[in-house]
Chain A
Amino acid sequence: MIASFFIFYITVTLFAIILLGIYGLVTRSNLIKKIIMLNIMGDGINMLLILIGYRFVFPVFPPIYEKHVTFEEFLARAVDPIPQAFVLTAVVIGMAMNILLISYAIQFYRLHGTVDARDIAEIMGGKSK
């Protein structure tokens, strides 16, 4: 009961973080702030995935097989390894995405002197409010 209360509490908090990230992504116009918000959202999603793989048994083991633990006990106590593997991939992809986005933002600033999305729309020929 207490374990499920905590897991719900953490899940709802993580969803709040994800929504906050989306909110910042759509309301801020500075590209760097948008990238920061994207990262906050991505980290919230990654933590949610890790939480889904967690198991509320005591004591809980990492998914690493050890010699002095019997196989049945390992299966009963180890956390789910799949979300961890996915998050490892997602973190790398997020890092790669960050490198590219930051390079675009920096180069745009060097060429045109602004990272504001409205100004960029104006420079690129669109209409801005």
Chain B
Amino acid sequence: MKRDVFVSISFLMAFLLISYAITVKDVLGMAENPLRPLGGFYLRHAFAPSNLTSHSPEVVTAIVWNYRGFDTLFETFVFFLSIMGALSIFRLTEEQEKEARSLESREPHRHMDLITRATTKLVVIMIVSISASIALHGHLTPGGGFQGGSAMAVAALLLFAAFSKFTLERKGLTLGHVITAYAFGLALILATAIAPVFLYDGRLLQINLLPGETGLLNLDVGEYIAVTFGFLMVFLVLGISEWIFKVILRGEIE
């Protein structure tokens, strides 16, 4: 109890100190909020007809995929690593997988009522088209691969809630297929990053050597596919009912 009071008071003191520093002393320099020189550089050169152009009127995409493209490339690798980590944590041996499949086949195929299912079908079509427009137009308008992919993952979650995991697997979205699609997205990103080296004698990720906007479009589409199917992969693994895991894993421990 005494410790709680102490912690609360120290946090309150920290808050007051920070507020004083920001409002009175203006330590962050936010009173005028001028355009910083580095931001001005990117705004000036993103679509200028000079050497440093990136063929993209959207400056954020130009920074993310061209000027600081390595950041985004490694960020994609981090995403890959985390998904692989999640998959390896939930990994089962072959016998356990067989057992899980036999337990799953005994489970009744539950789904929500007709109104919810019909509405979900309509909404999912809309979400898919909107996410495709976000991703494919990402180099011209606000948006990009990751945002489109996240929107697409929401559609997958809606399908999970309204129908079930089995509906998706019947339609062909099994774990193996999803992993293949994810690998295809990553391969597209890697191919676009390496292409300037072999085709135009450039450097890695020097995509403004590629004709027009192909580089940015390819990277956006690759990221879109990778993020969509990466999330779907995790959802498919998490979609296995909890009691099945308990039977398998607790049985293994005891």
**Which A residues are closer than 8 A to B by beta carbons?**
4, 7-8, 11-12, 15-16, 19, 22-23, 26-27, 51-56, 62-66, 71, 74-75, 78, 80-82, 84-85, 88-89, 91-93, 95-97, 99-100, 103-104, 106-107, 110-111
Please name 29 pairs of A and B residues whose Cβ atoms are closer than 8 Å in the assembled complex, sorted by A. Answer: A15-B19, A16-B15, A22-B11, A23-B11, A27-B7, A63-B43, A64-B141, A64-B142, A65-B46, A75-B40, A75-B43, A78-B43, A80-B39, A82-B42, A82-B63, A84-B60, A88-B60, A88-B64, A91-B146, A92-B79, A93-B75, A96-B78, A99-B85, A100-B85, A103-B85, A103-B86, A103-B234, A104-B89, A111-B253
Contact between A85 and B64 (Cβ–Cβ < 8 Å)? yes
How many chain B residues have a CB neighbour from A under 8 Å?
A: 59
The main secondary structure of chain A at its interface with chain B is helix
B171 shortest CB reach to chain A, Å: 24
- Does B47 belong to the interface (CB within 8 Å)? yes
Number of A-B residue pairs, CB cutoff 8 Å, is: 138
Chain A residues with CB under 8 Å of B249's CB are: 110-111
Contact between A93 and B78 (Cβ–Cβ < 8 Å)? yes
When the two chains form the complex, which single residue of A51, A64, A91, A103 contacts B59, counting CB atoms closer than 8 Å?
A64
Contact A52 B30, CB 8 Å, known A15-B15, A75-B44, A106-B238: yes
Q: Of all chain B residues, which has the CB nearest A81?
A: B59
Q: How far is the CA of A26 from the CA of B7 in the complex (A)?
A: 10
When the two chains form the complex, which single residue of A64, A81, A92 contacts B63, counting CB atoms closer than 8 Å?
A81
When the two chains form the complex, which single residue of A19, A65, A95 contacts B79, counting CB atoms closer than 8 Å?
A95
Chain B residues with CB under 8 Å of A110's CB are: 242, 245-246, 249-250
Chain B residues with CB under 8 Å of A82's CB are: 36, 38-39, 42, 63
Q: How far is the CA of A17 from the CA of B40 in the complex (A)?
A: 30
